[in-house]
Every structure is written in structure tokens, then in C-alpha cells.
């Protein structure tokens, strides 16, 4: 946690002020001096009530960072939202090569319609790995082909090491997870990047679609550096990280990039485990939730 995280938690009575003060000191050890900048965060709602991750972060100085962007079918809405903040993206993160994360981005790259993008950070999965999920391999290869062919003018960072820190306009960014090709179960989801953002008052961790193994690997390496105010629930809030992961990491607010049919699964959809995750959060004492299907285009100021 960074900045006022602990103080904010103390103010809400979630943790006692003595513990908050101790955590503020710990936070300084883990993340350095308090960041000077400030960001807003928009969690986009799917216009078609489909699954997907889509976030737009904007710094006080006007820098724009996009995380994923949803399916190709979300591109018009995403374009409009980016246009509304200047039609320029300073940094775009794509967590992993599933359509519901890179689909809109893939289409925008091919036809930017005036949008400019300075930098892309992603973590490429080896080509031979893609066949571990045959139903998604063609889409992933199409996305990589786009990156290889129509990204002129974009600085591309294919990141394969964790722990790297960026400071953009006073915003702290730390990459805690990159592709894990040794994790062959739940293959694409376990390649998700995990990214921490923090400013002078709050911190957000993006888990992407991290599966159990991906989450546990990150937890084993980074432990308390996963603690945050706002946690994006892995894999749209179900069948993502484990209960033990969520028990081990401290956070106070859940962000759910979740369509209505996953948020409240129909009785016959027993494969959707959202209710389990929601129960874990209740048992953890989380009282603040923001689901993209419930709060349209939720905005964190």
C-alpha cells in the first residue's frame, strides 16, 4: 500500500490507526517516498454485457494509461472514451492475449482513426505455447501479427522480468507479474501480467485473468507488495486467484470487470464460481464493491 492507503483505511475504521501508522512506515520501505502525482481511474462497462477488462487511468497532468480494452465489439465505446481524454494514449498495457482483453486494442491498432499511442507494454507468449489453447490460438496469433506489422510510431516493450518500476507524471507503476510459460494449466489466463499503480492517496492492483498458479507465484515473490486499496478481481471475479491468495493479500475495495451473467450466474451455469468469490470477500470483511455491470462506467476520482 502506498500513500494514504493505510491512513485511509484507518479513517474508515477498517484498521486501527496504530497499525495504519506501522503500515505507512512499511509502505515507505516497500515503495519508497510517497508519489507526488494523482490519478483517476475509469472502469468501463461492456456495451454488450460481455466479458472483458477495460480501464482508463488518467494522471493529474493529463497522461492517459489504458489497461486492456475488452472485446473487439467494445472498440467504438473505447475509442470514444479515449477521444474524450484527448485521443492520445501515453501507455497501453495488455495483460494477456485473450480476445476479451486485447480484441479492441487489436482493431484500434489496425485502424487508429487519429488516435495516437506512445507505448505498449505486454508480455508475449511463445508461439508454440499458443496451441495449448487451440480455440484461442488464431486470435492470439492475429493480435501478435498486428503488433509485428502495424505499430509504427509505438514504442513496444515486450516485458519478461518483474519488479520493474515506472514513474509517469508522479504515478508509481510496478509490474509484479509477466507471462509464465512454465504454467501450462489454465494456459492463457496464467500468462496475465499483474500491475500495481499508486499515487499520493491510493493504490490499485490489476490481476488481469490470473489463475491460481499465476496468482500464487506472484504472491510468493511479492507478498506485501500486492497489498492495495483497490483490487481488480482476477478473471472477472470467478475461477481466478485462489481463496488463500485473497486471504493473504490486504485490500479494502473490490473492482469487478464482470458482466451481469457472471455477476449473478443463472442456476444452470454451475461452472461460474462468482458466488464463491463474493462469499470469500464477505468473509474477508470487504464492504465496498464496484462491478462494471452494476455501476455503469464506475469512476474513481
Return the SS3 of 184.
Answer: coil
Element (H, E) at 230: strand 230-232
Q: Which is nearer to Fe ion, 27 or 54 (CB)?
A: 54
- Closest approach, Cβ 265 to Fe ion, in A, equals 16
Is residue 209 involved in binding Fe ion (CB under 5 A)? Answer: yes
- Closest approach, Cβ 61 to Fe ion, in A, equals 31
Residues in contact with 236: Cβ distance below 8 Å, sequence separation at least 6, in sequence order? 51, 52, 53, 209, 256, 257, 258, 259, 262
Of 84-92, 97-105, 132-140, 157-165, the window that binds Fe ion (rule: CB under 5 A) is 97-105
β-bridge mates for residue 231, sequence order: 205, 254
- Closest approach, Cβ 160 to Fe ion, in A, equals 21
Q: Quick count: other Cβ atoms within 10 Å of Cβ 267? A: 5
Q: What end-to-end distance do the CA atoms of the chain give, in Å?
A: 18
β-bridge mates for residue 298, sequence order: 43
Residues 33, 47: Cα–Cα separation, whole Å: 40
- Closest approach, Cβ 209 to Fe ion, in A, equals 4
- Closest approach, Cβ 84 to Fe ion, in A, equals 25
Of 40-48, 157-165, 197-205, 209-217, the window that binds Fe ion (rule: CB under 5 A) is 209-217
Residue 45, CA distances (Å) to 92, 175, 256, 298 in order: 18, 25, 10, 8
Q: Which of 24, 68, 74, 100 binds Fe ion (CB under 5 A)?
A: 100
Count of residues in contact with Fe ion, rule CB under 5 A: 2
Site for Fe ion in 102-141 (CB under 5 A): none
Of 2-10, 92-100, 132-140, 166-174, the window that binds Fe ion (rule: CB under 5 A) is 92-100
Site string for Fe ion, 49-88 (x = CB under 5 A): ----------------------------------------
Q: Which three cell numbers stand for residue 23?
A: 503500515
Binding site for Fe ion (CB under 5 A): 100, 209
Amino acid at each position: 500500500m502506498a500513500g494514504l492507503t493505510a491512513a485511509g483505511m484507518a479513517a474508515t475504521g477498517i484498521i486501527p490507526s496504530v497499525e495504519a501508522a506501522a503500515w505507512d512506515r512499511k509502505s515507505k520501505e516497500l515503495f519508497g517516498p510517497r508519489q507526488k502525482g494523482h490519478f483517476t481511474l475509469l472502469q468501463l462497462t461492456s456495451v454488450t454485457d460481455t466479458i472483458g477488462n477495460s480501464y482508463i487511468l488518467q494522471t493529474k497532468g493529463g497522461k492517459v494509461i489504458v489497461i486492456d480494452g475488452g472485446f473487439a465489439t467494445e472498440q467504438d465505446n473505447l475509442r470514444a472514451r479515449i477521444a474524450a481524454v484527448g485521443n492520445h494514449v501515453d501507455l497501453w498495457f495488455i495483460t494477456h492475449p485473450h480476445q476479451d482483453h486485447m480484441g479492441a486494442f487489436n482493431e484500434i491498432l489496425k485502424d487508429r482513426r487519429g488516435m495516437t499511442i506512445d507505448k505498449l507494454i505486454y508480455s508475449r507468449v511463445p508461439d508454440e505455447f499458443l496451441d495449448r489453447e487451440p480455440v484461442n490460438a488464431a486470435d492470439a496469433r492475429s493480435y501478435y501479427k498486428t503488433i509485428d506489422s502495424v505499430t509504427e510510431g509505438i514504442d513496444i516493450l515486450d516485458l519478461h522480468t518483474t519488479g520493474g518500476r515506472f514513474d509517469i507524471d508522479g504515478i508509481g507503476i510496478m509490474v509484479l507479474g509477466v507471462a509464465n510459460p512454465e504454467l501450462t494449466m489454465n494456459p492463457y489466463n496464467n500468462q496475465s501480467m499483474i500491475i500495481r499503480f499508486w499515487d499520493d492517496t491510493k493504490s490499485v492492483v490489476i490481476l488481469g485473468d490470473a489463475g491460481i498458479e499465476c496468482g500464487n507465484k506472484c504472491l510468493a515473490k511479492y507478498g506485501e507488495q500486492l497489498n492495495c486499496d483497490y483490487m481488480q478481481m482476477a478473471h472477472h471475479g470467478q475461477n481466478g486467484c485462489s481463496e488463500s491468495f485473497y486471504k493473504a493479500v490486504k485490500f479494502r475495495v473490490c473492482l469487478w470487470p464482470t458482466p451481469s451473467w457472471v455477476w449473478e450466474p443463472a442456476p444452470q451455469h454451475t461452472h461460474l464460481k462468482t458466488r464463491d468469490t463474493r462469499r470469500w470477500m464477505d468473509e474477508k470483511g470487504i464492504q465496498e464493491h464496484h462491478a462494471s455491470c452494476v455501476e455503469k462506467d464506475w469512476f474513481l476520482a
